[in-house]
């Protein structure tokens, strides 16, 4: 979860545990042609690029506090290939 402090998107919510920092949202993508540990995605462009080259991708959005390292899975969803007309959006 160390990646969060560098690449996470800052949210407007305070950490519910320490209340010292805004929680960050980090997106990890898992798919058949991607690294087994998942790929950390930080932009819509990256997401669309991955979606073009891989099928059956699943995105996990994790909330992370850079201050106390609290984290939890916010949501997960299947990434639709860009060719199907649905753009993949980060939160
Ligand atoms: Zn915290």
Domain extent listing, the chain: 4-81
**pLDDT computed for residue 89 by the predictor:** 63
Q: Cα Rg for the chain, rounded, in angstroms? A: 14
In 3D, which of 47, 12, 46, 7 has the Cα closest to residue 26?
7
Tokens 């980090």, located at residue: 26
- The CA 9 to ligand 1 mean position distance, Å, reads 15
Instruction: Indicate the pLDDT class of residue 6, thresholds 50, 70 and 90.
Output: low
pLDDT at 28 over 70: yes
- The CA 75 to ligand 1 mean position distance, Å, reads 19
In 3D, which of 4, 64, 59 has the Cα closest to residue 34?
59
- The CA 25 to ligand 1 mean position distance, Å, reads 13
pTM comes to 0.75
pLDDT at 74 over 80: yes
Residues 38-60 have a mean pLDDT of 88
The pairing of strands 39-41 and 57-64 is unpaired
């Amino acid at each position: 979860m160390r990646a969060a402090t560098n690449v996470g998107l800052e949210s407007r919510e305070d950490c519910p545990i320490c209340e010292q920092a805004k929680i960050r949202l980090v997106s990890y993508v898992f798919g058949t042609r991607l690294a087994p540990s998942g790929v950390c995605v930080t932009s819509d462009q990256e997401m669309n690029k991955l979606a073009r080259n891989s099928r059956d991708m699943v995105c996990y959005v994790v909330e992370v506090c850079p201050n106390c390292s609290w984290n939890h899975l916010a949501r997960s969803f299947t990434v639709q290939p860009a060719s199907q007309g649905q753009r993949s959006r980060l939160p």
